[in-house]
Amino acid sequence: MTISSDMPFPAPGPKAELETGDVLSPRFGPDGLITAVTVDAEDNTVLMVAHMNSEALRLTVETGIAHYWSRSRQAIWKKGETSGNMQSVRELRIDCDQDCVLLKVTTAGDGANCHTGRRSCFYRAVTKGVDGRPRLETDKSDQPRFDPNTVYGSDS
């Protein structure tokens, strides 16, 4: 798809148009970002949640490869460029009020999407601890597929 990098997306219109129209007019927040939820195209498993600025969304739509905005590095983040786990976008959806996008992807390499080497960032579930207070239990079925220290260096 072709998107001008000068004027990538039209400004959001009135509510009815935003919610039922066919114009992609994402509502970036005051920080210039939109939330992106990324799921496995095959089984819908939620893999990660990140953010995109206008340029990251434009690159994602144009190339079919997921690009995000790294808030810590303040830079465009072509996911998987270091680890080899690039995400091919099979489908891109947007929500009712156009302030969140949903990416259905196939992940290359060893299929890790989390910086810890796991398939999904959501590897811990809230359970009830012995004192009745919430504890986190790690999903042992999602084992790290790479060693983050080897791939990213020891400060990862």
By CB under 8 A, is residue 93 in contact with a copy of itself?
yes
Q: How many Å apart are CA 40 and CA 12, to the nearest integer?
A: 29
> Which of 38, 73, 70 has its CA nearest to residue 56?
70
Classify 10 as helix, strand or coil: coil
Residues 12-71 that bind a copy of itself (CB under 8 A): 19-24, 35, 37, 39, 43-46, 48-49, 61
- Residue number with CB closer to a copy of itself (1 or 11): 1
DSSP code per residue over 95-108 = -TTSSEEEEEEEE-
Residues in contact with a copy of itself by the rule CB under 8 A: 1-3, 19-24, 35, 37, 39, 43-46, 48-49, 61, 91-96, 100, 102, 114-116, 118, 121-126, 128, 132-138
* Residue numbers belonging to the annotated binding site for Zn(2+): 96, 114, 121
